[in-house]
Structure 1
């Protein structure tokens, strides 16, 4: 289907999807088949996915729409201006959302890529 996600999307998914979590491991197996259908027009970098569900198994997230992964964005100064959320629908990657909590710091996917610290 795709084989090549934009680097910012691929990097943030790699940082947010924990390798030790079985649900995240199942979602990681979907990434090679993932493409970006569209992005939010505001410039935040939120990406809506397309996925050939016939080529991958669903992750055990349950039915409906689920926040399958999340990570706070932490700046070098220790500020927390937002977060990144990974949504699934029916166990399949659906979209990656960038949320801003700050009016002072611009939060985009590019900024998240730079500031994101994977959970320990």
Structure 2
């Protein structure tokens, strides 16, 4: 079962994709067509999407599975403490992952607070 994309997911995706130069616009246009397929059960921020490929065009020149955005997450002292990765399959947004570079687990809400401070 799929659900509409929650606001925090959409904001993190939008922020991450705004930094993509080549195919960023084509990927951003897909956000409103995405549906939440599932979230990882371990508590991390991994989120998987479904998309009606007939409703939007694929991003050009993106074949296979690729990381299309990689955004660093910074701690209070300015050091990199993790990252958000956005993946596409054959030009369509497929999932995002929130990764920690320590033993701490970052949730999507943690990434949202770090990347979108104006939404607090």
**TM-score with structure 2 setting the length:** 0.86
> Is the 2:45–2:106 Cα contact (8 Å) retained in structure 1?
no
Runs of 4+ aligned residues of structure 1 deviating over 2 Å after TM superposition are 19-22
> Is the 1:8–1:113 Cα contact (8 Å) retained in structure 2?
yes
> Is the 1:61–1:68 Cα contact (8 Å) retained in structure 2?
no
Name the residue aligned to 2:101: 101
Name the residue aligned to 1:50: 50
Aligned length: 115
**TM-score with structure 1 setting the length:** 0.86
1:70-89 alignment runs, 5 A limit: 70-89=70-89
> Is the 1:100–1:107 Cα contact (8 Å) retained in structure 2?
yes
> Is the 1:19–1:25 Cα contact (8 Å) retained in structure 2?
no
- What is the alpha-carbon distance in structure 2 between the residues aligned to residue 20 and residue 95 of structure 1? 16
1:1-120 alignment runs, 5 A limit: 4-18=4-18, 21-103=21-103, 105-116=104-115
- What is the alpha-carbon distance in structure 1 between the residues aligned to residue 14 and residue 56 of structure 2? 18
Query: In structure 1, the residue corresponding to 2:98 is in which secondary structure?
Result: strand
Higher strand share: 2
Cα root mean square deviation, aligned: 2.0
Unaligned runs of 5+ in 1: none
The answer to which of 29-38 and 77-86 deviates more is 77-86
